[in-house]
Amino acid sequence: MAADGAGQTNLSNNPADDWEPAWSPDGRRIAFVSNRDGTGEIYVMNSDGSGQRNLSNHPDRDWFPAWSSTGQVAFESQRDGNWELYVISTAGGGTTRLTNNPADDMDPAWSPDGRRLAFYSTRSGNAEIYVMNADGSGATRLTDSPSDDWHPAWSPNGQRIAFQSNRDGNWELYVMDVDGGGLTRLTNHPADDQNPAWSPDGRQIVFASKRAGNAEIYVMNADGSGVTRLTNHDALDDWPAWSR
Ligand SMILES: [Ca+2]
Ligand SMILES: [Ca+2]
Ligand SMILES: [Ca+2]
Ligand SMILES: [Ca+2]
């Protein structure tokens, strides 16, 4: 759809569930998850829905693709017995495991330069946001809350990370510096607010919220002001992603 919510088009158009879309940096392709083969697989397609192909090709669950500026797709998989993060080249080639920890390691998000990944891990006992180098080294924890901290989204200027947390009693959106400082709460609503994604100019954040009774897509300014609803549909509207 367009940034004002107009022109909504069904791209994947498949009877199985397709979700979690992620744009390629050039806006010409989309990675997404599909259950059409019986387990979650990472698919890629052109932005008009043509040329769909299975990228992950593994019998275990493969979810949550994130497309880097260097042509890599990071994703989460249970193929080694618990949730770990992996990376695969869209040009073909092998899959590389980035994490190796018995805890859940999930929700990868690339830095704009493709050199680092943000993600969440339960390795300290509950979900916290971490960053690591693109080869999996140097993991550093950014949040420290006994609640769940999920779904980091790296700002286009590389300096801020938005995420969702239930630390204040329900899912709200927050933003912090890439070193974990400067924490700011962006939403304040009793309904769930989740799955943030930045606009290409970094001035707005699109997200999903259940404040109208079911999940709809909203957009707000990056400081949390000016919340506007984009979708209006009884079915689930979730996992927004913004093309440049
Ligand atoms: Ca799979
Ligand atoms: Ca793990
Ligand atoms: Ca936490
Ligand atoms: Ca909320």
Q: What is the pLDDT of residue 33?
A: 92
Q: What is the pLDDT of residue 238?
A: 67
Q: Are strands 128-133 and 204-209 parallel, antiparallel or unpaired?
A: unpaired
Distance from Cα 192 to the centre of ligand 2, integer Å: 26
Torsion over CA: 227, 231, 236, 239 (sign): negative
Q: What is the pLDDT of residue 243?
A: 67
pLDDT at 236 over 70: no
Mean pLDDT of 172-180: 98
- Tokens (6 digits) for 73: 């797709």
pLDDT at 204 over 60: yes
Residues with CB in 5 Å of ion ligand 3: 126, 128, 145, 149
Distance from Cα 193 to the centre of ligand 4, integer Å: 5
Mean pLDDT of 37-55: 91
Distance from Cα 152 to the centre of ligand 3, integer Å: 12
pLDDT at 19 over 80: no
- Tokens (6 digits) for 195: 């799955």
Confidence band, pLDDT 50/70/90 cuts, at residue 170? very high
Confidence band, pLDDT 50/70/90 cuts, at residue 89? very high
Distance from Cα 129 to the centre of ligand 3, integer Å: 7
Torsion over CA: 244, 30, 55, 107 (sign): positive
Q: How far apart are CA 17 and CA 211, in angstroms?
A: 24
Q: How far apart are CA 108 and CA 131, in angstroms?
A: 9
Tell me the per-residue pLDDT of 92-135, one tens digit each, with 9 for 90 and over: 778 999 999 999 999 999 999 999 999 999 999 999 999 999 99
CB 176 within 8 A of CB 160: yes
Distance from Cα 195 to the centre of ligand 1, integer Å: 22
Q: What is the pLDDT of residue 6?
A: 66
Question: How high is the mean pLDDT of the chain?
Answer: 91
Q: How far apart are CA 139 and CA 123, in angstroms?
A: 11
Predicted structure pTM score = 0.91
pLDDT at 86 over 70: yes
Q: What is the pLDDT of residue 91?
A: 84
Mean pLDDT of 48-64: 93
Distance from Cα 171 to the centre of ligand 4, integer Å: 5
Q: How far apart are CA 179 and CA 158, in angstroms?
A: 11
Q: What three-state secondary structure class fits 18?
A: strand
Q: Are strands 53-54 and 72-77 parallel, antiparallel or unpaired?
A: unpaired
Q: How far apart are CA 202 and CA 34, in angstroms?
A: 29
CB 173 within 8 A of CB 181: no
Q: What is the pLDDT of residue 37?
A: 84
Mean pLDDT of 188-215: 94
